[in-house]
A and B are shown apart, each in its own frame.
Chain A
Amino acid sequence: MSVLEMYVNYLSHSLVRNAIIVGVLIALCSSLLGTTIVLKRLSFIGDGLSHVAFGALAVAMCFSFTNNMLIVLPVTILVAIILMGSNDKSKVKGDAAIAVLSVGALAVGYLVLNLFPGKNSGNVAGDVCSSLFGSTSILTLGGEDVWICIVLSLVVIMFFVVLYHRIFAVTFDENFAAATGIKSKLYRYLLAIIIAVVIVLSMQLVGSLLISALIVFPVLSAERIVRSFFSVVIASAIIGSLCAFAGIMLSILWSTPIGATVVCVNIIVFILCILLGKIFGRK
């Protein structure tokens, strides 16, 4: 059976199609948000939040909630608001706070999972591994999950399009924006909420340890090859979604873990972009 026939065969299953749709949408949202997160030097917040989400997920799992999102999402949003809300003066402390929080959440999450394994699963190691590194659960998404994901992605994309100029202003120079009457604080909190939503969403795809890759890599790649903010946003959205698509396809072909494959494709593209940037005389 040729590779092509195999893909045709796989794609005839709605589960595979769902996985691809969700995967690409998640990657698109992460890379859009990534532009402001990376350029504002907040990458570490994304990383910290993903660990917090893991901790929350662990707690939710041991309570055996029907829908883990009900716990994970609010907790992550709350932490995001606290982290992003701390002002510039406490930046050094903020740095350590994030480290403490993310490692703490990771440890507590793992401990809780071990002490109180959920009723509906006896396999702690499997649970932990899949929530850290992403799972095959993206291949078992029901129609409802897909719709939730599509709606949330559209919200994120709309948010980005409508507020594009404000996001630029606040990302480039928060003080100037605030001084001339832009509600920087408000956008900060909005951004925090959206980041939390995207992180919780992408946990399904790549797991909490690898989320930062989806957020950070596309932007860094785009930065190497284009020079305006607008083109960085567009290029990073395109790179992010293409990498996700390619990664998912490859992982089907080689039966490799989806999350890790997607991230590796991102790494390869990043290296290519560095080379391209060097060849065409950019930094």
Chain B
Amino acid sequence: MAQIQGIDVSLGYEKRIVANNINFEINQGDYLYIVGENGSGKSTLMKCILGLEKAVGGSIKYGDGLRQKEIGYLPQQSNIQRDFPATVQEIVLSGCLNRLGWKPFFGKKEKEIAKEAMRKLEISDLAMRSYPELSGGQQQRVLLARALCATSKMLILDEPVTGLDPYAQEQLYAMIYKINKEEKITIIMVSHDMEAAKMYASHILHIGGEKCVFCTKQEFIKENGGCLF
């Protein structure tokens, strides 16, 4: 069975439905791009998958040993975070919280996981640095490391390269791709960046009004004749 299966999902704010009949299936190791215009419901779908909001209709099923709370999440940054007094280590470690159960404090195991995550994202040398002092790209890698601490199966990323310079964007994309390939961690990416989707995606879910398309990247490009919208 797939890790996540969406059947006839409808999304909406309050009573207005913005997207209908969304069907998709995500298997382990997939790299899914959720694309669509602003207000099409991309972020809402993502929040439904994470359990932060409820879909208006249809159902989202979790399988293949994946539980909803085991999904790592890279949210868009808020202003609160940008000048939050915390060290990189504190933030990454906080991703291990869902492993603690009822224990109040982190043990050796959690600290090891955090260390490993920082190593993977090449931020080990920043561990004791203060978060607001970092560049945008470094901050995103810190949050990605935190998300990695929370999961070994699936990551959801919400427009992760917004506001980064081109070099930092490339670097972040490359790291996400590496995580996908080497760790076999499923990636769901909410994004505007069609160029990147063409490069990295294995599947594409296009949301927008009547037409919601779910297919592999090759089909998508063929269907749209290389022109993606």
A residues contacting B by CB (< 8 A) are 39-41, 161-166, 168-169, 172-173, 175-182, 223, 226-230, 232, 283
Q: Does B136 contact A (CB under 8 A)?
A: no
B residues contacting A by CB (< 8 A) are 50-52, 68-69, 71-73, 75, 78, 80-81, 83-87, 90-91, 93-95, 97-98, 100, 104-106, 130, 132-133, 146-147, 150-151
In the complex, what residues of B have CB within 8 A of residue A168's CB? 86, 90, 94
Kindly state the separation between the CA atoms of A176 and B51 in the bound complex, as whole angstroms. Answer: 11
In the complex, what residues of A have CB within 8 A of residue B97's CB? 165-166, 169, 177, 180, 182
With A39-B85, A162-B104 already in contact, the answer to whether A230 and B90 are too (CB < 8 A) is yes
| Residue in contact with A165 in the complex, picked from B75, B105, B147, CB distance below 8 Å | B105
Q: Is the contact region of chain A dominated by helix, strand, or loop, or is it mixed?
A: helix
Kindly state the separation between the CA atoms of A223 and B90 in the bound complex, as whole angstroms. Answer: 16
In the complex, what residues of B have CB within 8 A of residue A164's CB? 104-105
In the complex, what residues of A have CB within 8 A of residue B84's CB? 39, 172, 229
- Across the interface, name the chain A residue whose C-beta is closest to B86: A229
Kindly state the separation between the CA atoms of A161 and B105 in the bound complex, as whole angstroms. Answer: 9
In the complex, what residues of B have CB within 8 A of residue A40's CB? 80
In the complex, what residues of B have CB within 8 A of residue A165's CB? 93-94, 97, 100, 104-106
Q: Are A179 and B50 in contact (CB under 8 A)?
A: yes
Q: Are B85 and A227 in contact (CB under 8 A)?
A: yes
Which one of B71, B93, B104 has the greatest number of beta carbons of chain A within 10 Å? Answer: B104
Q: Are B98 and A172 in contact (CB under 8 A)?
A: no
Q: Within the complex, what minimum Cβ distance (angstroms) separates A55 from chain B?
A: 30
- Across the interface, name the chain A residue whose C-beta is closest to B96: A165
- 24 residue pairs of the A-B complex, CB under 8 angstroms, read A164-B105, A172-B86, A173-B81, A176-B150, A177-B94, A177-B97, A179-B51, A179-B52, A179-B69, A179-B73, A180-B69, A180-B150, A180-B151, A181-B69, A182-B98, A223-B85, A226-B85, A227-B85, A227-B130, A227-B133, A228-B85, A229-B84, A229-B86, A283-B83
Q: Are A229 and B87 in contact (CB under 8 A)?
A: yes
In the complex, what residues of B have CB within 8 A of residue A169's CB? 94, 97
Q: Are A228 and B90 in contact (CB under 8 A)?
A: yes
Kindly state the separation between the CA atoms of A228 and B69 in the bound complex, as whole angstroms. Answer: 28
Kindly state the separation between the CA atoms of A40 and B151 in the bound complex, as whole angstroms. Answer: 26
Which 7 A-B residue pairs are closest in the complex by CB-CB distance?
A: A181-B69, A227-B130, A229-B86, A179-B50, A228-B87, A179-B73, A180-B150
